[in-house]
Structure 1
């Protein structure tokens, strides 16, 4: 059995930056355990498998795996899969069947190897549980309690399909100092896959509004260069202070890893009610190949 795959860097237009992704096409013959083992073989933060859709009007069905678990939704695989399909088909809209639901991606072709995709969240973010106290959070991240929080932002737990602990810190310099202590991590952050998204404002940086870092040992990951599902959860946190109407924020991630990434977040409010959340970003193809699974 030979399976073709494409390697992309996502949430960037620059090769060898952003978040790497493997997209395995024509994966209908694979069982769940095979997809999980292939994802472990690639050992990237996520691998996406493209299958035939159940509905004819949809473009494809996708399954998303980290090296250890399957996810119902993730941002960088959604962007990457949509760009691959959009570049191949020259379509401007891609409808993906994901376990969380159908996601429509609007595609803009940048060149023959690069594209941009944006999509509305299939589920708006919602609170997902109680956060730990500030002292426990600070100790787990190698920080001081006074480093946690800014401008009314406090630790919280949100999910737009995947649960994340959202931890605001005072500045980019504090963000750089984060050094996770994995001892007792799952006890401090027990919900979901124990995933933590640390973020701050970036008022002195041109071109982006926030910066973030993501740590997910429960997904088989260390630090992740760019995490669309976490940015989707963050929309819920940011919406409380966002003005009415539509607002777009730009968030950088991965800089501390040498993999700079840029995620756009769209928020629309009707009065005080969040009515739309969206994620967008670019992706660039860096390689293609085939898997030889059996003689």
Structure 2
């Protein structure tokens, strides 16, 4: 009976039982797509990764990312966590890892402490900022169980945006953020009415105080009622805010997961380049469990 080893880590935290948990299957050769999806559902984390040999030997791995119901083209905490796991196995090259993914090539810089122990990683999102549809404030408020005047539209309307995977980003009043609660019926209705969403609605709400941000992310249609740390959405938000604020570079500190009892800290840097706005997102990573699946 084949055995497939895995490790779990808590990402965007420096201690166990915080941040966003992730399962990493460190050698997924021999697993079918159906088995990968079933394992991701069984692990029941927001995402699970499967490490395969790279198609290009210049890269370090092909990493596939699955949430509970589908495969993802890119995601933040799975890349940070997978990089930390592989680096602890000595699979980085001078502190750098390059992962092939559906959305493009993801380059990761591994972070270590003075003793050489892996403490975290910083990933570069694979795409420049792009936009999809804007959504009415009242519809987003209804999705999150908020009042319309809790949605702040002075800087931008609720908007679908991506640096590799799509989120709807919406600024909310600071005092309203903690009270947000996803309404599954409204999520389903909005997806039915808006074909441009292509069946996906991951809602990233944020309250801003300068470069410091508090955030929450809801994706109940994908099985994630709330996510404790969403690196790809944070990277998208950083690029969006830089595009609105002006300038060539910006740095943001984002706190997420507080309401879930899994506080997470994400650090985002965004820059303007010739082809648009790009972001990096990084943070710490705490090792948790090891095991194997027998299939």
Residue aligning to 2:123? 119
Query: How far apart are the structure 2 equivalents of 1:262 and 1:158?
Result: 22
Q: What RMSD, in angstroms, separates the aligned Cα atoms of the two structures?
A: 1.9
Residue aligning to 1:82? 83
8 Å Cα contact 2:242/2:250 also seen in 1: no
For 1:154-184, what per-residue CA distance to the aligned partner results, in whole angstroms no more than 9, with x for missing partners?
A: 311111222111111011x210010221113
Query: How far apart are the structure 2 equivalents of 1:43 and 1:270?
Result: 38
Superposition map of 1:1-295 within 5 A = 1-89=2-90, 91=93, 92-110=95-113, 114-131=118-135, 133-149=136-152, 151-171=154-174, 173-189=175-191, 190=194, 191-192=197-198, 193-202=200-209, 209-269=212-272, 274-293=276-295
Provide structure 1 residue ranges, at least 5 long, that are not aligned to the other structure: none
For 1:215-269, what per-residue CA distance to the aligned partner results, in whole angstroms no more than 9, with x for missing partners?
A: 1122221101111121122133212233423221110110010000011111112
Query: How far apart are the structure 2 equivalents of 1:165 and 1:276?
Result: 18
Query: How far apart are the structure 1 equivalents of 2:15 and 2:209?
Result: 22
Deviates more, 1:254-263 or 1:191-200: 191-200
Matched position secondary structure for 2:152: coil
Q: CA deviation at 1:112?
A: 7.2
8 Å Cα contact 2:184/2:221 also seen in 1: no
Deviates more, 1:43-52 or 1:139-148: 139-148
Matched position secondary structure for 2:157: coil
Q: CA deviation at 1:188?
A: 2.2
Provide structure 2 residue ranges, at least 5 long, that are not aligned to the other structure: none
Matched position secondary structure for 1:184: helix
Matched position secondary structure for 1:236: helix
Query: How far apart are the structure 2 equivalents of 1:139 and 1:103?
Result: 35
For 1:3-50, what per-residue CA distance to the aligned partner results, in whole angstroms no more than 9, with x for missing partners?
A: 111110001111110000000011011110000000011010000000
TM-score normalised according to structure 2 size: 0.91
